[in-house]
Amino acid sequence: MAEGRRQRNGPRPFKSLDSWFTHEDFLRMIKEEWRGLGEAQFTNKLKAMTGPLGRWHKDKFGNMDRKIMKFEEEIKKIDDAVGDGVHDGTVEARRKALVTCCEKWYVRKELHWKQMSRSRHVKDIDKNTRYFHNLASARRRKNRIDVLLINGRLIRNQTRIKIEIRDFYKKLYHHEESPLIGFRDGWWK
């Protein structure tokens, strides 16, 4: 067993992915599976849905990168064929349909990673994954101040930015005269 890795006690918690709702078959599959469970209690139905959802995810949704790559390869083949002089209305329609499908998968992938980046499971993942490093880098870029506008001047030098920020807060919290407030016998003076 590797040191530093957390052990899981029991199965992973089930997570619904927002990107599933963008798939044409998702709601239809949910309705069919839900009806197929009959008159079971609501909580039992919810638990029973994890199996079909997992299978559906694997079969229909699967590896998004692989699906995107497949669409891009098909688009490239069509572009190469058109470049070689093979061109008709069906080729153009096929390319347009492939581009639309590829764009849908890019949107799904973006939704998926947006949801993952906000979820609490980030603290549980292996810190040595590409996903974790991409997430940390994105947060670092987002939280960094690259340029500061002070009195109409743009400041890009990091040392100068730090000095300006420090001076701003010094002025903000500096009092010319500190107010004298007294407290005696439960009354303000």
Instruction: Identify whether the C-beta of residue 108 lies closer than 8 Å to the C-beta of residue 24.
Output: no
CA 164, 168, 174, 175 dihedral sign is positive
Q: Is the pTM of this model over 0.75?
A: no
Pick from 114, 1, 61: nearest CA to 122: 114
**What's the pLDDT score for residue 130?**
74
Q: Where are the domains of the chain?
A: 17-62, 65-143, 145-174
Q: What is the pLDDT along the chain (189 residues), one digit of tens a residue?
A: 344 444 445 566 777 888 888 888 899 999 999 999 888 898 889 889 988 998 988 888 778 889 899 999 998 888 888 877 777 778 888 888 999 998 999 888 888 887 877 665 555 555 667 777 777 777 777 777 888 888 888 888 889 988 988 888 888 777 665 555 555 555 554
Long-range contacts of 111-120, Cβ-Cβ distance < 8 Å, separation of 24 or more: 111/17, 111/18, 111/19, 111/22, 112/17, 112/18, 112/19, 112/64, 114/18, 115/17, 115/18, 115/19, 119/15
